[in-house]
Structure 1
């Protein structure tokens, strides 16, 4: 049997680990951590072997489909896009689980933790492997459920329970949009087939969907007097789902509050699983997006705005994990921007975006695990109480500095010398320049450059405030155990060299995602259908454009060093509630007040309450009216109840007489 025949085991093994750990974990050392670690390690080996085999022959992808019910199937698809995601998710998740053995050693419920993280990993792997949109949605919902359980892991804390509910409800908004897109897609495909589906045809499998893109694009709807293609509506609904899962504006508000869970959960959510699902959805359905007029423009603009919007808040946060949370939102914006500029660079956008997703997984997992190492050792995550941590935690400090340089994007343009983040973020910014040059839309490029400056500023602010200078409190501290520092060192190595070693081969490999034995798409023809004009001069950008991301990254580092390292600026004058700009950023643009207090409470809650009161008053009036009529009628009828037998007899005779006359009249008419 070929290794591809075992692809179904990749999500199945962690799912079995969830069951075993849930029931047996309390009786085993470390909460039964060895079970999910062994399962995920096996899934990683299978994923790696499949990827290595696929590298030799990328057009021969692995497909397995089985009938589920009616017109739907359950199946496995391992193409270049899925292969790189499977390998990354299993590898990063494995390191996080190993790290968690030390981090969760003093927790009261380690078995529940490891059971839930195993299910979380299994759900994400199932999502990646899905060969149809319905199966992907089912796995998508499981990912959302697991995030709810893990964010609220310490449910005894009111803030954790609130954050879990906030994440669940916010992402549900996007999920409803995603489901609506699937329903509309199914209805269109059913119409295209004239209601008669040939035997063995699975209507929502990706190859069937892609094969009927032209017919879907030909169906239009009239919205506010404008003719809008159904494929535009469907892709924007899909993107709505991605906005919720991948923390794009305005559905990003759940992501910073997700820090209420254990730091290892934050690393899992922000690096390997949930937030990458939305990016993966857009990448998986990219042929639909590039054939949909205006959809990629929405993706590009919203991604670029999210990148700069989140970065502005990252520069004022004082909580280690919150800085990294806003960093994640910002970098997810870059990934969406990378997909959106497919309007200029075509299918290459999938490789550009996914390369940053993979590299981001390494350095962001490293950043969160380093933050967890600091919190585990010193007992606080407030940067204002730290300083000088590098002296007591040299390994943690060194690995986090490597991750910071990778996030900021340091490297030499035009060469293969640079950190992994440089190798993947710079191509997105350069592609945004091509997009601007070919379309005349410069805002996404300008947003991406300013966001790069802010990224360097907030991450080196974190480094200087946490690891350098004198301790600002007597926090003690010690280096973390080997079970935690070894995963940090491995991730640091990947954050340092992975991008440089794989950049060329990665792009070439991902190019085969939509040209293989499962699907064979003519992307330029689809781009023409969507009204996009692909750039023909990629790789010939001006020298200043190539160096600009590095220039702003160095500028951010210098500003952070001067302000937080040398302290040449008295920040007390700036960091003040009397400073309206600082106040606005620190209060996160009052999003909580707008979304929660105003929109949720004033508009939704009080609106429904007013509507309910109005309906209740209406029913009260109706009930009272019926009651009054009944009482008045009864009072009137009572007048006939005299108690005199002669009156009753006269009434009966008169009534019978009238009835006979009425019957005779009717018979005459007939």
Structure 2
């Protein structure tokens, strides 16, 4: 492949752009924006050329490995999964950086912003390229660090500093689980090779890991009286890391607060980089998950519940960015549900889930950039203060409509007519139906279809409250500059037509990720190891099931139209502190009170403080008792020291006499 020798430049160019922009960005035009833009554009071009070459020869993946130290390596792996991710991340990141030239034009710290976003992009690209789990984890941690820096970009604001710390600490919970999974995996692999590793063999490289899957699956541990496969333990620990990074319940709480950074940062985090890392991890290690009993079922349940749980909160938020934040959490739930459906459709689940990831990157980046365009023009992100924005920002409004149609999943089943979200989300819901039909477990499907209804409701609620009707305040407003509207237009076109053009070849291409010259996995055989029974009649669902996601999307649109455009229903009767359901949703199920006030403050902080107090008292008591006994013993022995030589002589004679008597008695006995 002609461009394979340039693969190392894909993460290296943005990394170099970070260094240059950080040190000399203030002295260059646009706050140093041009440096990361050109670097990421070059990375995108290399990624695109490699992807095109790989499409022609999908079996010949790029694999480059170099010795690092001891039994570890640094390597590059570009297979179909990595190729589409690289192309998506570089493309969306490039558009966001171009958009940021206008959006951040008045920020005095824009050079720091472009340096950090460039490092963020480089870290994500390095994560995708990794050919071993340890290198992936190191890049994973760099992504977390960059998210901390960008969420807290306006660190002068207490809310931004708090949100950054919350994101960093919450995702650390998942990161510790991920690291624990790597340690358990390495211990099992080391045991399987009897501690003898041939030169040039790297145990943590994905091809080596996958080759030992049956042996690891056969190893069991007893947990709470149950026999659990080591592979199940490892994959669930990996999934714990993905739950933190990709905002799955219950570690999703950091994502809405991540809105404290610039809107372009929100677009970068929610569309192209950090939150997709967890989905990518599960997809990358999919052969392990499908061979691990129960792991994919847990992934499916968590994903389906997250999709529904987040959507219920999205319908009551009044902040433009918070609605989109809960939308991101919900759509990430769909992606995890799609991977979990590997329990019935095998490797095809990877193609379906990653296609939704890519399409979501387009329309979610568009949604956030449209929100940023509105905020940049009118100075507020409270939907209750807007209305009629379409009259002053027609391009932003048109692209927002395109993104909303994609998110809601409008299209015509059985045809090539539909938005990108229609072609990516609907197959996940249909697979959930297949899972229910095949396994008799209908909860994932029910969660997914209700979440689809709520998705349509909250996004068209946002659309009508913000862009339709008359202005509710004197916000002024104007259309954004070309540097912002051109990226919006490009993403708007992709949100509408990308799915129809590439859905079938994309899914086929990515689903073949695990059959090539790097790995050659028999997924159906691994499914038997994991006790999953794959279905053989996928794609033959009843017509009503094919139409159901579109039907609920239309119902959500009509409800939003009647309530928020025609105002046929007086919502003040429901939007009230006296309404317990609304209060519960608006307060986000009191998650902040439960996690922060109850768990973090009461349980952890006050618990540790109380434990520390009692430990200090216990240690002080021991020290006091020892000192008291020492002093008393000293006082007692001091009384013996009379200074009279006769007393000392008598003591010596008495002691020697007793010692002689004792020795004689012992000798007589033995």
Tell me the CA shift for residue 529 of structure 1.
1.0
CA distance in 1, matches of 2:257, 2:471: 28
Tell me the CA shift for residue 648 of structure 1.
3.4
Q: What residue in structure 2 maps to residue 639 of structure 1?
A: 639
Deviates more, 1:190-199 or 1:637-646: 637-646
Q: What residue in structure 2 maps to residue 651 of structure 1?
A: 651
CA distance in 1, matches of 2:352, 2:237: 23
Q: What residue in structure 2 maps to residue 334 of structure 1?
A: 334
Tell me the CA shift for residue 659 of structure 1.
6.2
Q: What residue in structure 2 maps to residue 185 of structure 1?
A: 185
CA distance in 1, matches of 2:218, 2:662: 65
CA distance in 2, matches of 1:256, 1:132: 32
CA distance in 1, matches of 2:664, 2:157: 83
Q: What residue in structure 1 maps to residue 587 of structure 2?
A: 587
CA distance in 1, matches of 2:77, 2:104: 35
Q: What residue in structure 1 maps to residue 471 of structure 2?
A: 471
CA distance in 2, matches of 1:569, 1:99: 39
Q: Secondary structure at the match of 1:67?
A: strand
Is the aligned partner of 1:98 residue 2:122?
no
Runs of 5+ consecutive residues of structure 1 not aligned to the other structure: none
Q: TM-score, normalised by structure 1?
A: 0.98
Tell me the CA shift for residue 610 of structure 1.
1.9
Tell me the CA shift for residue 657 of structure 1.
5.9
8 A Cα contact 2:346 2:523, kept in partner: yes
CA distance in 2, matches of 1:647, 1:261: 85
CA distance in 1, matches of 2:391, 2:402: 17
Q: What residue in structure 2 maps to residue 503 of structure 1?
A: 503
Q: What residue in structure 2 maps to residue 242 of structure 1?
A: 242
CA distance in 2, matches of 1:170, 1:11: 26
Off by >4 Å, runs of 4+ in structure 1: 652-670
CA distance in 1, matches of 2:230, 2:85: 30
Aligned residue pairs: how many? 670
8 A Cα contact 2:64 2:77, kept in partner: yes
Q: What residue in structure 2 maps to residue 5 of structure 1?
A: 5
Q: What residue in structure 2 maps to residue 533 of structure 1?
A: 533
Q: Secondary structure at the match of 1:639?
A: helix
Q: What residue in structure 1 maps to residue 215 of structure 2?
A: 215
Q: What are the superposed Cα offsets for residues 559-609 of structure 1, whole Å, 9 maximum, x if unpaired?
A: 000000000000110100000000000000000000110011111112212
8 A Cα contact 2:352 2:428, kept in partner: yes
CA distance in 1, matches of 2:46, 2:449: 39
Tell me the CA shift for residue 518 of structure 1.
0.4
Q: What are the superposed Cα offsets for residues 400-451 of structure 1, whole Å, 9 maximum, x if unpaired?
A: 1110010000000011110100110001001111111100010000000000
Q: What residue in structure 1 maps to residue 607 of structure 2?
A: 607
8 A Cα contact 2:347 2:512, kept in partner: no
Q: Secondary structure at the match of 1:168?
A: helix
Tell me the CA shift for residue 617 of structure 1.
1.5
Q: What residue in structure 2 maps to residue 82 of structure 1?
A: 82
Q: What are the superposed Cα offsets for residues 183-207 of structure 1, whole Å, 9 maximum, x if unpaired?
A: 0000111111011111111001000
Matches within 5 A, 1:408-447: 408-447=408-447
Tell me the CA shift for residue 649 of structure 1.
4.1
Q: Secondary structure at the match of 1:252?
A: coil
Deviates more, 1:84-93 or 1:603-612: 603-612
RMSD, aligned α-carbons: 1.4
Tell me the CA shift for residue 669 of structure 1.
9.2
CA distance in 2, matches of 1:395, 1:54: 36
Q: What residue in structure 2 maps to residue 64 of structure 1?
A: 64
Q: What residue in structure 1 maps to residue 170 of structure 2?
A: 170
Q: What residue in structure 2 maps to residue 160 of structure 1?
A: 160
Is the aligned partner of 1:149 residue 2:149?
yes
CA distance in 2, matches of 1:526, 1:660: 82
Runs of 5+ consecutive residues of structure 2 not aligned to the other structure: none
CA distance in 2, matches of 1:195, 1:233: 22
Q: TM-score, normalised by structure 2?
A: 0.98
CA distance in 1, matches of 2:600, 2:656: 65
Q: What residue in structure 2 maps to residue 575 of structure 1?
A: 575
Q: What residue in structure 2 maps to residue 293 of structure 1?
A: 293
Tell me the CA shift for residue 664 of structure 1.
8.2
8 A Cα contact 2:456 2:556, kept in partner: yes
Is the aligned partner of 1:394 residue 2:394?
yes
Q: What residue in structure 2 maps to residue 349 of structure 1?
A: 349
Is the aligned partner of 1:458 residue 2:461?
no
CA distance in 2, matches of 1:650, 1:29: 100
Q: What residue in structure 2 maps to residue 380 of structure 1?
A: 380
CA distance in 1, matches of 2:477, 2:434: 49
Tell me the CA shift for residue 638 of structure 1.
2.0
Tell me the CA shift for residue 612 of structure 1.
1.2
CA distance in 1, matches of 2:656, 2:31: 88
Tell me the CA shift for residue 650 of structure 1.
3.6
Say if 1:108 and 1:665 are closer, same or farther in 2 by CA, change over 3 A: farther
Q: What residue in structure 2 maps to residue 24 of structure 1?
A: 24
Matches within 5 A, 1:275-314: 275-314=275-314
